[in-house]
Amino acid sequence: MFDINWGLFLLASLTINSIPGTDVVYVTGKYHVKGKKGAALSAAGLAVGYYFYIFLTWLGITAILLSTPSLYLVIQLIGAIYLIWMGKNILQSPPATTIENTEKNNPKKTKDYDFWGGFVISVLNPKVGLFFVSFFPQFITSSNPSYLILILGSVFCLGATFFNVFYCFIFSRLKKLSPNKSHLILGVIPGVILIFLGCLMIYETVSRFYQ
């Protein structure tokens, strides 16, 4: 239907998505403090954030954003701070089994927070847009319709969401360990990693600013 090597695209997408990254750490941490629903909503928010950048890439806005270094750095800095804040929340939050009553008292607020938290993390990471701008053109020719980016992006988003949930499911098996061990692996470590990545992003952003 389209002049595109679907086999190569799917292989590249699956390979990239199968590598655990910040999003997997975030969803796993959410599972620990909010349970399955919290993790699923967070993964959905991340997916919508991916598609936000795919849509901007289709419109050509992402390229404009990346050509404005100061704006790019500001967005990245805000995203790094938000990542640190989310890591701190995961560290300070009790396991999911101890917060069920709180969620029952205000389920809508909790669901909105989980979904939009994932969305904000995606949107405040301009590297997502940078990746899409550099990745999709490898599989699109001038003879292809422009909306092909949306199709490829949808396939990529589905793969990313699948692996976010898949790794969360794998790590959830660790809940069978003792409470202290499971809290360390599913709560403390993800929280520390998010804070570390946020600090690293701030360092890299500031370093580029002063170059």
The domain segmentation of the chain, as residue ranges, is 22-209
The pLDDT of residue 20: 77
- 172 vs 195: CA distance, rounded Å: 21
Instruction: Report whether 144 contacts 4 (CB < 8 A).
Output: yes
> Is 73 exposed, middle or buried, given 0-12, 13-18 or 19+ CB atoms closer than 10 A?
middle
Residue 172 C-alpha from the chain's centroid: 18
For the chain, how many helices (H) and strands (E)? 10, 0
Residue 13 binned pLDDT confidence (cut-offs 50, 70, 90): confident
Question: What is the predicted pLDDT for the residue at 111?
Answer: 64
- The model's pTM: 0.73
pLDDT of residue 83: 80
Cβ atoms of 133 and 62 within 8 Å: the answer is yes
